[in-house]
Amino acid sequence: MHNTVIDLYPETPVITITLKTINAFKSTWPCHAIPDDADLVVCLFDTARGKRNLVDYDVSRADDSVIDPATMPDAGPALSAMMDDALTRHQGSN
């Protein structure tokens, strides 16, 4: 699984999770509830002083339109796990 990390400020990494990674994650999480048209997840973390706080995220379609979080209320646990895994991979690569 590959993710792109934009490290403008090392303590607030912006991590993008691509379709390939989303699909690989969904194949391991049967009740993920992540929309079928989710093409990209962009998440911002605050990792200053050892924290692992999610600050913001967007889930987008292939046409770059953002999927309203209210339309995917049951996807929260799966999205959280996927984003946490992306952050763990990012921190392990530094």
DSSP the chain: --EEEE-SSTTS-EEEEEHHHHHHHHHH-TT----TT--EEEEEEE-GGG--EEEEEEEE-TTSPBPPGGG-GGGHHHHHHHHHHHHHHHHHT-
Per residue in 22-63, pLDDT (tens digit) is: 999 999 999 999 999 999 999 999 888 888 899 999 999 999
Indicate the pTM of the whole model: 0.85
> What is the share, in percent, of the chain residues with pLDDT greater than 90?
71
Residue 16 has pLDDT above 90, yes or no: yes
Give bridge partners of residue 77 from the DSSP assignment.
none
The confidence score (pLDDT) of residue 2 equals 53
Residues 73-93 have a mean pLDDT of 92
Query: Residue for token digits 């392990």?
Result: 92
Half-sphere exposure of 10 (CA within 13 A, CB side): 5
Partners of 44 in beta bridges:
14, 56
Predicted confidence band of residue 67 (pLDDT cuts 50, 70, 90): very high
